Structure 1
């Protein structure tokens, strides 16, 4: 027997329906690691953080995790062991995963002859990824009494109790006690945000160094480029009152760096320019860099891995050079004591309206 799972798929959900007098907004800048993907329990434990319980509120709470938070669930269990322990690229990791899921991949290639091998693998990961993701964030929503928004990739899911489906698509680590299996409803893969309550936000995922230019050929500072998102958003829209922009961090593989600074922001009356010298800014930025943006106020900004040496005698370019050198130390295979020592943050703000 198969039943449809009712999920909310969101690609751009910034507007908060305001149904209470006050809210607590929380952004989790989680430092991800495949080391936590040993079992479903260890994957859950990395998100079941003490600091979230310390800031739990009796007020309605909206807690937002970053984009593709569910990515590392692909490496859970014995089938993911070789992939999560290899010291190589993300391509190598998924190649090793493909070997562990050959039977499932063959099944989906037969069912959908025109899909790619990558899509077949992503479909094959449906059970392990959705099981970990759904169990984790539905449980946290109940424990923290909060609306939780978190994101992953995958197809639309159905649940099956058919023994043949369980045998073919189920998790061998759960055998013989697995009573249902999650399988794709269709062949399409989505990057989706899931809401375990009634409110939501758009998480963010920056897949490169934070303290760097956006590319070798572009001299635009990465944090400056991001100001066109969560900050300039208020000028580009009329209805959004708050934005929560959590940023995942960490080196997953040799060629996958994820970094950034989470922010929580609020709309101000049109034409208001509240910025002053004491406002929190992304690293490597000065007040002049964001003077063209109005109508917003940053309520909370996560720290980066090191402080921006503002206030001294260094020029902006000299500061950025120091910050970039530190980013190189954080990067995979840097051999520095700071390798993968990214900030792991939770920021929050109580708001009224």
Structure 2
């Protein structure tokens, strides 16, 4: 290969999460560090390493500061109780920014949780000396106002942050296509904008991010292809038993096994794409209260790069998998589907929550990049300043002002009901 070629290693971490990992800042830092420790044996000192973490790994930070919340056993109960206990902050947000209670609950703690998430990831990228795809987390959009952050009212997107080995910001990507569970009746996130998707040239590939469902959508893949993406990153949190049936818009009636559907994401992008040569798809596992997360992490490439036939459970072997995490067992379809139910949240089965964790890696090579560095958005400029410690936290309204806003809001609701 030419002397300007890029040689690097990618590592995908498949962790298992528990609600207790998010009830305090210290617990969250331990959980994130444990993932980098899992990746450490697979980092190469002679070439750059890219570590890719999973989708929504900051979402449960909404539980932070409430160690009693996991005992409520369902996210619906926990969210209702958290909203009530944080009413002084959440209700004014609902009224002022016209959001639902779930989004207001997340926005109320977004300043502290954003800082905790970003600073934890920055410190890990520096300590381990890796390029880090931080996974993704619900995060507001910010702009800088003097020496503080200003949040765009009512906006909360599913965001991936990319960092270099010095902990500096490379770029941010929002998820464009939200699943039903991420929309108004669920986590209540704001969809990203397709025209804001960009490719970031780095020593570990020209990185394009397609968070979970985005990697299944032709408009996202085509936009990243057109900008010269060579390494696709697909952080994932599949919120269902891996061997259950899947049915999503635009045709929720067309159901199929989840692993069959997954072949339409990273594997298809690398085996049939123009510029996209490799893809990294880490998937989180574990039961969070009453929610089930399961899957098989994978690193994919061109068929000639990975000629050995293999594939997800419930699918036929095929080339294109450079690395693939085994599922918890092998067997006939009926057995696998039952096992998926046994593992799921609140199944009561002895195998409940006994998912497999894993770490995948692959050594990759690419020609020198020809992609231009995209200009930064105002949001990225603000996050970069935060990561460099050059910016203050935005000021929170004094408690008496928040209490006054709450009382006015309650009076308004009472009048509306008369």
TM-score by structure 2 length?
Answer: 0.64
1:125 is aligned to 109
Q: Is the 8 A contact 1:211 1:222 kept in 2?
A: yes
Separation in 2, partners of 1:153, 1:159 = 19
Separation in 2, partners of 1:324, 1:253 = 21
Matches within 5 A, 1:101-112: 101-112=86-97
1:86 and 2:95 correspond: no
1:265 is aligned to 300
Matches within 5 A, 1:154-169: 154-157=139-142
For residue 246 of structure 1, report the CA deviation from its aligned partner. Answer: 0.7
2:277 is aligned to 241
Q: Secondary structure at the match of 1:232?
A: helix
For residue 236 of structure 1, report the CA deviation from its aligned partner. Answer: 5.3
Separation in 2, partners of 1:336, 1:208 = 17
1:345 and 2:342 correspond: no
1:302 to 320, 325, 330: 325
**5+ residue gaps in structure 2?**
165-169, 171-201, 208-232, 367-418
Matches within 5 A, 1:1-353: 21-49=6-34, 50-58=37-45, 59-77=47-65, 80-87=66-73, 89-112=74-97, 114-149=98-133, 150-157=135-142, 184-197=151-164, 198=170, 199=202, 200=207, 201-214=233-246, 218=254, 220-234=256-270, 237-254=273-290, 256-268=291-303, 275-276=307-308, 279-287=309-317, 297-306=320-329, 308-309=330-331, 319-353=332-366
Q: CA RMSD in A?
A: 2.7
Q: Is the 8 A contact 2:19 2:289 kept in 1?
A: no
Distance change >3 Å, CA 335–CA 23, structure 1 → 2: same
Q: Which moved more, 1:23-32 or 1:197-206?
A: 197-206
Distance change >3 Å, CA 322–CA 65, structure 1 → 2: same
Separation in 2, partners of 1:238, 1:131 = 38
What is the count of residue pairs matched by the alignment?
291
TM-score by structure 1 length?
Answer: 0.75
Separation in 1, partners of 2:6, 2:307 = 26
Q: Which has the higher helix share?
A: 2
Separation in 2, partners of 1:152, 1:93 = 19
Separation in 2, partners of 1:160, 1:135 = 20
Which whole-Å deviations, capped at 9, do the CAs of 1:139-195 have from their partners, x for residues lacking one?
111111111112111212468999xxxxxxxxxxxxxxxxx9x77333211111111
Q: Secondary structure at the match of 1:128?
A: helix
**5+ residue gaps in structure 1?**
1-18, 163-179, 291-295, 310-318
Separation in 2, partners of 1:298, 1:138 = 30
For residue 240 of structure 1, report the CA deviation from its aligned partner. Answer: 0.9
Query: RCO (CA 8 Å, sep 6+): is it higher in 1 or 2?
Result: 1
For residue 28 of structure 1, report the CA deviation from its aligned partner. Answer: 1.2
Distance change >3 Å, CA 183–CA 29, structure 1 → 2: farther
For residue 116 of structure 1, report the CA deviation from its aligned partner. Answer: 2.1
